[in-house]
């Protein structure tokens, strides 16, 4: 006979098939999320490694050729700068208070004007830097220009014929912008506080152009927005032409003409005559 008891308790359900199924699904979803996160992290790391490898292959070669390696002219200019300029203009071209201004942004044009005209290096601090024979050779000036231009940037030297401009336009522009300080024919004149506008007699074409570009001392800067390159050439043409012309009034007084000279002679002559009359009268 069978010993099975029909009244016995039913068997317990399998935990994996009944009660365990929702738990297993939750665990599976959690494992899937973790796998996706780790896969994303691994992909990001691989992308970063590949990007770094590509940069190390291509970027250093370009940087070494452009910014990290000085040319021979720049290296020579650095040596000259550290020997003659660093005490006033600083180790990083940022200037020294009460000694010298910053050279960042002045460009090779400013270096050419200041060094080629002998104004720099300064012999002493004074109201006006005077023109004198240059200390450096043309090659050394080119080296200083290369160094300052490479490390500070700024206006560069022009090229071509600097007198290729309209003479009449140059005269009008000079009288409008320059004559109040330099006289109508570039003879120069006194300014305030012991300063003066220099005579343009010995100024070369490039001296005048770079002075207009950089505005040394009291002179304003005439950038390309104020005077176009063609207008600058017109001004240079006027200045150099008027210097080559003969004086219209003989012994020139600012080259204004014989009327002013006659007036001066008349005033001086009358003054001398009056002095003589008073002197003779006092003796009598």
Interaxial angle between packed helices 138-152 and 72-84, expressed in degrees from 0 to 180 and rounded to the nearest 10 = 100
Asked if the structure places residue 26 within a domain, the reply is no
pLDDT for residue 37: 82
187 and 126, same domain (yes or no): no
175 and 143, same domain (yes or no): no
Asked if the structure places residue 24 within a domain, the reply is no
Cα–Cα distance measured from residue 283 to residue 278, given in angstroms and rounded to the nearest whole number: 9
Q: Which of 152, 180, 195 is the last residue of a domain?
A: 152
pLDDT for residue 46: 84
243 and 176, same domain (yes or no): yes
Asked if the structure places residue 268 within a domain, the reply is no
Residue numbers of the domain that contains 192: 167-247
pLDDT for residue 120: 93
Question: Nearest Cα to 233, choosing from 155, 182, 159, 170?
Answer: 170
Asked if the structure places residue 142 within a domain, the reply is yes
Structure tokens at 60: 């250093």
Q: What is the pLDDT of residues 65-91, one digit of tens each?
A: 444 588 999 999 999 999 999 999 999
DSSP 132-164: ---SS-HHHHHHHHHHHHHHH-------S-TT-
Asked if the structure places residue 217 within a domain, the reply is yes
Asked if the structure places residue 274 within a domain, the reply is no
Cα–Cα distance measured from residue 156 to residue 15, given in angstroms and rounded to the nearest whole number: 86
169, burial (CB in 10 Å: exposed 0-12, middle 13-18, buried 19+): middle
Map residue 213 onto helix, strand or coil.
Answer: helix
DSSP 217-241: TTSPP--TTTS-HHHHHHHHHHHHH
For 107, 119, 159, 181, 255, the CA distances from 103, given in Å and listed in that order, are 8, 15, 23, 26, 38
| Domain count along the chain | 2
pLDDT for residue 181: 93
pLDDT for residue 61: 47
For residues 184 and 243, is the Cβ–Cβ distance under 8 A?
Answer: no
Q: What angle do CA 142, 237, 108 make, to 5 degrees?
A: 20
Asked if the structure places residue 101 within a domain, the reply is yes
145 and 176, same domain (yes or no): no
Structure tokens at 146: 């290369």
Task: Give the CATH number for residue 146.
Answer: 1.10.760.10
236-266: string of b/e by CB count within 10 Å (b at 16+)? bbbbbebeeeeeeeeebbebeeeeebeeeee
Q: Which of 152, 181, 202 is the last residue of a domain?
A: 152
| pLDDT < 70 stretches in the chain | 1-20, 57-68, 246-261
240 and 189, same domain (yes or no): yes
75-93: string of b/e by CB count within 10 Å (b at 16+)? ebbbebbeebbbebbbeeb
199 and 239, same domain (yes or no): yes
Structure tokens at 22: 């929702």
143 and 87, same domain (yes or no): yes
93 and 116, same domain (yes or no): yes
Asked if the structure places residue 8 within a domain, the reply is no
Q: Which of 103, 129, 152 is the last residue of a domain?
A: 152
Cα–Cα distance measured from residue 216 to residue 111, given in angstroms and rounded to the nearest whole number: 11
């Amino acid at each position: 006979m069978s010993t099975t008891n029909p009244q016995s308790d039913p068997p317990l359900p399998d935990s994996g098939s009944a009660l365990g199924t929702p738990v297993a699904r939750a665990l599976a979803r959690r494992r899937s999320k973790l796998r996706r996160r780790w896969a994303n992290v691994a992909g990001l790391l691989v992308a970063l490694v590949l990007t770094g490898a590509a940069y190390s292959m291509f970027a250093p070669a370009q940087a070494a050729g452009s910014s990290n390696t000085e040319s021979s002219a720049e290296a020579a200019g650095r040596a000259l700068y550290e020997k003659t300029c660093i005490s006033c203009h600083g180790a990083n071209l940022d200037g020294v208070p009460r000694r010298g201004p910053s050279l960042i942004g002045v460009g090779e044009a400013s270096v050419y004007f200041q060094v080629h005209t002998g104004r720099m290096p300064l012999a002493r601090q004074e109201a006006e830097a005077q023109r004198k024979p240059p200390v450096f050779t043309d090659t050394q000036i080119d080296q200083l220009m290369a160094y300052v231009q490479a490390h500070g940037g700024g206006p560069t030297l022009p090229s071509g014929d600097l007198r290729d401009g309209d003479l009449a336009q140059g005269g009008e522009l000079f009288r409008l912008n320059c004559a109040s300080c330099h006289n109508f024919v570039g003879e120069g004149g006194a300014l305030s506080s012991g300063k003066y506008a220099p005579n343009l007699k010995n100024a070369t074409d490039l001296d005048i152009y770079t002075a207009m570009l950089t505005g040394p001392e009291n002179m304003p800067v005439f950038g390309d927005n104020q005077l176009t390159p063609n207008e600058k050439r017109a001004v240079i043409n006027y200045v150099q032409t008027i210097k080559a012309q003969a004086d219209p009034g003989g012994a020139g007084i600012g080259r204004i003409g014989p009327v002013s000279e006659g007036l001066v002679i008349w005033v001086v002559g009358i003054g001398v005559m009056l002095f003589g009359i008073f002197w003779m009268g006092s003796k009598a």
